[in-house]
Structure 1
Amino acid sequence: MAQPLEPAERRPANHGPKVAARNRDALIVAAREIYATHGLDAPLSAIARRAGVGQGVLYRHFPDRTAVAIAVLEENVRQVEQAAAAEDAAFADVLGVLTWHLTESAAFLGLLHANGATGHTEALAHALVLSGRVESALRRLLPEGHRLSAPDGLMLAVAMVSGAVGGPTREVREHRAVAAWRLLGVEVGPVRPFEG
């Protein structure tokens, strides 16, 4: 026997486009969290559940797994750029924001270091563009004569730190990242997201 439909006044309102941006943001945050725990091959349904939306909403925003990964990478880079553009931006503080993203999005590190062998070649190509944006944002704040000011020094150091960011928990990954910066002789500010 079919269940009767609820009266119109009891159905939740469909806010449609009004909540599209909020849903997309929630999906990106959820993807970052799920990927940090379960890796890039985590089920997309887990991301939708964590964001509190249906899978249809996820697919309206992101047609496939690669699109989700790219969106998270873009958001990470956008936050680093915002931190670098802040009025009182300091190099060490922006490195702290970058380090937070490296430790929070550790699942992406394999993607960033792969040579396309993982099957995520579109995301890899996009990651290389985003890497250039990160370098540009950091270089604007790099003090003259800093130990990372050599042409390849800055991004080589970032790659070395990202290579050290492994571990079962976010806390372990953060500890390793900060230790790696210390071994490189580079001061890093508080490891936290940019809240601008």
Structure 2
Amino acid sequence: MTNAQRVNRGPSAAAENRAALIAAARAVFATAGYDAPLSAVARRAGVGQGSLYRHFPNRMTLALAVFEDNITAMETLAAKPASTLEDLLALLTDQAIASTAFIDMISPSSLEADLARIDARMTIVLASKLDQARQSGVIRPDVGTDELRLAISMIASLLAKTPAPSRRPTATRAWLLLRRALT
């Protein structure tokens, strides 16, 4: 039995390789932590380390790409007229559960320009559904994006310290408590 050689498709595979690297980073960091070897990310994506470093020169740029992907998913959801703040918070919670390895690196003291831009996009997405939630009585009228972001941060920090099998039920209980304060 022979091993099949992977054919180098050159620049035509760049977008596909980038997407595979981001997906692989999300999976590897979620299971092995943020300090997992980048070679594991390249291997899982099915690309060489050279390809990884062409797209992402360091660990932080790779992590930022994962965050960028998460924010894009939130923006896509928020653009749907039928989506609600509850839908956004559910997606954010799912992302936090999957990305607990990244939680410690997103403290305000570690914000870099790119992370600050992603952070601002998240605020805009939350604000886009907040008025609707206030008007429908889902959220108290005096709750703003700062309070929502604080609640999200609290849940993300809690999940980062929670063993993987307990993250979903812990997030559910934490949101139940926080919703009492927000509604």
Q: Normalising by structure 2, what TM-score?
A: 0.83
Task: Provide the C-alpha distance between the structure 1 equivalents of 2:28 and 2:5, rounded to a whole number of angstroms.
Answer: 30
The answer on 1:144 being equivalent to 2:139 is: no
Higher relative contact order, structure no. (Cα contacts within 8 Å, ≥ 6 residues apart): 1
Larger Rg: 1
Which residue, 129, 136, 157 being the options, matches 2:117?
A: 129
Percentage identity across paired residues of the two chains: 42
Residue in structure 1 matched with residue 19 of structure 2 by the alignment:
25
Task: Provide the C-alpha distance between the structure 2 equivalents of 1:32 and 1:13, rounded to a whole number of angstroms.
Answer: 25
Residue in structure 1 matched with residue 171 of structure 2 by the alignment:
177
Moved over 3 A (4+): 10-13
RMSD of equivalent CA atoms: 2.0
**SS, match of residue 62 in structure 2:** helix
Runs of at least 5 residues in structure 2 that lack an aligned partner in the other structure: none
CA contact (8 A) 2:126 2:145 kept: no
**SS, match of residue 179 in structure 2:** coil
CA contact (8 A) 2:123 2:145 kept: no
Shift in Å at residue 89 of structure 1?
Answer: 1.1
Task: Provide the C-alpha distance between the structure 2 equivalents of 1:98 and 1:168, rounded to a whole number of angstroms.
Answer: 18
Is the helix fraction higher in 1 or 2? 2
CA contact (8 A) 1:135 1:154 kept: no
> What is the aligned residue count?
170
* Aligned pairs for 1:65-144 within 5 A: 65-113=59-107, 115-116=109-110, 122=112, 125-142=113-130, 143-144=133-134
Shift in Å at residue 19 of structure 1?
Answer: 1.4
Residue in structure 2 matched with residue 191 of structure 1 by the alignment:
none
Task: Provide the C-alpha distance between the structure 2 equivalents of 1:99 and 1:59, rounded to a whole number of angstroms.
Answer: 30
